[in-house]
Amino acid sequence: MRPPISEEIIDLRSDTVTKPTAAMRAAIASAEVGDDMSGEDPTVNRLERMVADLLDKEAAVYNCSGTQSNQMAIRAHCQQGDEILIDETGHIVNYEAGGPAALSGVSARCLRGRGGLLDVEDLEGKVRPDNQHCCITRLVCIENTTNLGGGRVWPLDQVVRVGEWARSHGLKVHLDGARLFNAAIAAGYSVKDFTSHVDSVSICFSKGLGCPMGSILVGDNATIQRARRARKLFGGALRQAGMMAAAAIYALENHVNRLSEDHDNARVFAESIARIDGVRLNVADVESNLVFFEIHPEFGTAAQLSATLLQRGVKINPTGPQRLRACTHLDVNQSQVIRAAEVIRASLSEGIQKSKSDVRGAYAAR
């Protein structure tokens, strides 16, 4: 059993803050290990085969992080001077330190979809002509669930359209599936149903699945062979990685179905703060475990509210001048998200009262 969750701090910054359960720690401690770079770690080998089969792909390679996994995919699919097509909110172009350009000499053409989701109408006309003056458009990168796009879930028919469009133009499709299992649980499709329409997939174990670290990249044999070389080139050689692979296996066997609890808690939180004056949020947009909301400028900035909440035991990060993101996960429960909403309500109420008081004071001093 998991120990009671502390009431001192409610951490809604990200599902990356999760800590391994006692059972996961036991799996880590008992893992059989070997030298992964020699292909001799039996637990890593089991995990790679397990995920490849789960997604109906030929091969997989375990690695350190979602960023590393995405960048390995770009390196495997593209050559220097190539271009990827991606929504402007994509993690690959916002939170991976310029990796496509820095690591692979690949440029990104950012497109504006809806909620981080691209469709054929967004992609049409964006493939560069076969002309020596132009880079070569090589890869479409999508994200499910979206992150900055608002935690939105890809409809299955939409990825079918995008996959067919890409193939008709000779392009590959890479899926940043850091929270793919969240998407599958929310939408009611299997991960295999979704990934059959893309060429490579990155899955993160250290978010909703609750592992200390690790991601995995899956695809066909040739792509994964190139990705393994990229992993080495990027400094990601692994040795006795079976301990972390054991955590991932445990998570896949025990933590997938429970993701619906995080989604339920996100909806409860969203419904609670949507009723607060000065908060702008469409509850219908909350489809997974991410809740994005904006505060009116008269209440201050998102950074100011985040700092106030931190002093009151609630951790939520700003993602823009007035925008904040809350993320539910296995280390917060429903009573905690309700309490976090109450702290937000009190903080905003006191903030506007203080603002009005400051204004009255300024006029009185004239």
Question: Does residue 5 belong to any structural domain of this protein?
Answer: no
Pair 69, 91 in one domain: yes
Rounded distance, CA 303 to CA 319, Å?
9
Q: Is 60:216 a contact under the CB 8 Å cutoff? A: yes
Question: Does residue 158 belong to any structural domain of this protein?
Answer: yes
Question: Does residue 209 belong to any structural domain of this protein?
Answer: yes
Question: Count of alpha carbons within 13 Å of 118, Cβ hemisphere only?
Answer: 26
**What are the pLDDT digits (tens) for 64-78?**
999 999 999 999 999
Last residue of a domain, one of 201, 223, 254: 254
Give the pLDDT confidence score for residue 350 in this predicted structure.
Answer: 84
Question: Does residue 7 belong to any structural domain of this protein?
Answer: no
Of 186, 140, 193, the closest CA to residue 290 belongs to 186
**Which residue carries 């917060």 as its tokens?**
332
Pair 279, 295 in one domain: yes
Strand partners, 343: none
Rounded distance, CA 203 to CA 62, Å?
10
Q: Is 107:85 a contact under the CB 8 Å cutoff? A: no
Question: Does residue 56 belong to any structural domain of this protein?
Answer: yes
Pair 174, 45 in one domain: yes
Confidence of residue 150 (pLDDT cuts 50, 70, 90): very high
Strand partners, 315: 11
**Would the pLDDT of 56 be above 50?**
yes
**What are the pLDDT digits (tens) for 71-110?**
999 999 999 999 999 999 999 999 999 999 999 999 999 9
Pair 58, 156 in one domain: yes
Of 31, 79, 41, the closest CA to residue 62 belongs to 41
Of 61, 79, 158, 81, the closest CA to residue 117 belongs to 158
Percentage of residues of the chain with pLDDT beyond 90: 93
**Would the pLDDT of 361 be above 90?**
no
**Which residue carries 């996100």 as its tokens?**
266
Mean pLDDT, residues 184-209 taken together: 97
Pair 337, 204 in one domain: no
**Which residue carries 């990705």 as its tokens?**
227
Question: Does residue 265 belong to any structural domain of this protein?
Answer: yes
Rounded distance, CA 234 to CA 72, Å?
8
Give the pLDDT confidence score for residue 7 in this predicted structure.
Answer: 54
Give the pLDDT confidence score for residue 49 in this predicted structure.
Answer: 98
**Which residue carries 């991601």 as its tokens?**
215
- Three-state DSSP at 127 gives coil
Other Cβ atoms closer than 10 A to 208: 30
Pair 224, 338 in one domain: no
Percentage of residues of the chain with pLDDT beyond 70: 94
Who's near 263: CB < 8 A, 6+ residues apart? 182, 185, 186, 287, 288, 289, 328
Burial (CB < 10 A; 0-12, 13-18, 19+), residue 35, is middle
Last residue of a domain, one of 254, 289, 318: 254
Question: Does residue 16 belong to any structural domain of this protein?
Answer: no
Question: Does residue 12 belong to any structural domain of this protein?
Answer: no
Give the pLDDT confidence score for residue 354 in this predicted structure.
Answer: 56
Instruction: Tell me the pTM.
Output: 0.92
Rounded distance, CA 161 to CA 141, Å?
14
Of 158, 148, 210, 187, the closest CA to residue 288 belongs to 187
Please tell me whether the peptide bond between 223 and the residue prior to it is cis, using omega within 30 degrees of 0.
Answer: no
**What are the pLDDT digits (tens) for 316-354?**
999 999 999 999 999 999 999 999 999 999 999 886 545
Instruction: Name which of 228-242, 276-290, 295-309, 342-356 the model is least confident about.
Output: 342-356
- Look up the domain containing 273 and give its range: 258-356
CATH assignment at residue 139: 3.40.640.10
Give the pLDDT confidence score for residue 73 in this predicted structure.
Answer: 98
Give the pLDDT confidence score for residue 4 in this predicted structure.
Answer: 42
Mean pLDDT across the chain: 94
Give the pLDDT confidence score for residue 272 in this predicted structure.
Answer: 97
Pair 339, 249 in one domain: no
**Would the pLDDT of 60 be above 50?**
yes
CATH assignment at residue 330: 3.90.1150.10
Tally of domains within the chain: 2
Burial (CB < 10 A; 0-12, 13-18, 19+), residue 12, is buried
Pair 194, 280 in one domain: no
- Beta strands per DSSP E along 153-214: 172-176, 200-204
Pair 221, 203 in one domain: yes
Last residue of a domain, one of 207, 230, 254: 254
Give the pLDDT confidence score for residue 8 in this predicted structure.
Answer: 78
Pair 321, 238 in one domain: no
Pair 77, 214 in one domain: yes
Q: Is 280:62 a contact under the CB 8 Å cutoff? A: no
- Beta strands per DSSP E along 47-123: 59-63, 82-87, 107-111
Rounded distance, CA 72 to CA 76, Å?
6
**Would the pLDDT of 362 be above 50?**
no
Pair 231, 262 in one domain: no
Report, in angstroms and rounded to the nearest whole number, the Rg of the chain calculated over CA atoms: 22
Q: Which long-range contacts (CB under 8 A, 24 or more apart) does 280-285 make?
A: 285/115, 285/150, 285/151, 285/152
Rounded distance, CA 362 to CA 232, Å?
61
Give the pLDDT confidence score for residue 352 in this predicted structure.
Answer: 53
